[in-house]
């Protein structure tokens, strides 16, 4: 039987987006050099819009003045995808994993990341699924989790190190808050939902992080680590 891989998992209750992005870059560099193992960061951001490599600034519906008035930060970043929102009541996950060039399946990585969230939702009787034309996790025609990643090509090893990841909506009414100021992921035909909107239950961020970790480890083949709180 193949031995499970090891993973460091960290829960950070609240972290500025810029700090989290810089942290990911530093970890990716250390992993490329073989100085750090695979890690999963689970956290929450203050209100933030991020525009991915598809670069559609027209999908941001608010002016610079309105962003400042509402206290929403804006970042042009290096992940794939379009514009999305991060904010309170949303569990963000950044898997920093080394993917060897042998048998590399980047498409499969995205599908596995979706499956982690689908499996967690299933435990609450929520049927999460996929839409063939869009990355992410959906409940019917409403997106509950956005996914956007970057595959960082290694310079000193064969393969890639992943960064960025998923954003799982937990808080009730999140679709009418930050998401109201954008066309989420550039998709105008479908909406956004959250765990609380679907169940009527509040889900604390730390509880969601603890519950999601075993699904992540099972799907990606890691031994279950202790979730360390920063």
CATH number of the domain bearing residue 147 = 3.30.930.10
Mean pLDDT value across residues 73-86: 88
For residue 213, name the pLDDT band (cuts at 50, 70, 90): very high
167 labeled binding residue: yes
Q: Any known ligand binding at 147?
A: yes
- Give the global pTM: 0.94
Active site residues: 185
Residue 22 within any structural domain of the chain: yes
78 or 189, which is more confident: 78
Q: What residue numbers bound the domain in which 223 lies?
A: 8-229
Q: What does the chain look like in DSSP terms, one character per residue?
A: -PPPBP-EEEEES---HHHHHHHHHHHHHHHHTTSS--EEEEE--SSEEEE-TT--GGGB-S-HHHHHHHT-EEEE-SSSSSEEEE-TTEEEEEEE-EE-STT--HHHHHHHHHHHHHHHHHTTT---EEETTEEEEEETTEEEEEEEEEEEE-SSSSSEEEEEEEEEE-STTGGGTGGGGB-GGG--SSEE--HHHHHS----HHHHHHHHHHHHHHHHTBPPPPEEE-
Report which of residues 4 and 137 the model is more confident about.
Answer: 137
In a domain, 1, yes or no: no
Annotated binding-site residue? 166: yes
50 is in an annotated binding site: no
**181 belongs to a structural domain:** yes
């Amino acid at each position: 039987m193949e031995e499970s891989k090891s993973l460091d998992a960290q829960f950070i209750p609240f972290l500025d987006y810029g700090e989290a992005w810089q942290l990911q870059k530093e970890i990716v560099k250390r992993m490329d050099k073989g100085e750090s193992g695979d890690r999963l960061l689970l956290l929450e951001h203050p209100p933030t819009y991020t525009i991915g490599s598809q670069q559609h600034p027209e999908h941001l519906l608010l002016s610079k003045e309105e962003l400042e008035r509402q206290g929403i930060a804006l970042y042009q970043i290096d992940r794939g995808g379009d514009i999305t929102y991060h904010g309170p009541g949303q569990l963000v996950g950044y898997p920093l994993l080394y993917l060897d060039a042998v048998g590399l399946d980047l498409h499969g990585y995205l599908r596995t990341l979706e499956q982690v969230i689908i499996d967690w939702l299933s435990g609450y009787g929520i049927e999460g699924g996929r839409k063939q034309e869009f990355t992410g996790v959906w409940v019917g025609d409403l997106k509950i989790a956005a996914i956007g990643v970057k595959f960082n090509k290694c310079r000193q090893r064969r393969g890639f190190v992943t960064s960025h990841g998923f954003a799982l909506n937990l808080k009730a009414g999140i679709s009418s808050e930050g998401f109201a100021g954008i066309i989420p992921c550039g998709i105008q035909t479908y909406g956004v939902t959250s765990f609380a909107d679907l169940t009527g239950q509040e889900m604390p961020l730390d509880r969601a992080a603890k519950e999601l970790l075993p699904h992540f480890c099972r799907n990606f083949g890691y031994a279950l680590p202790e979730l360390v709180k920063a």
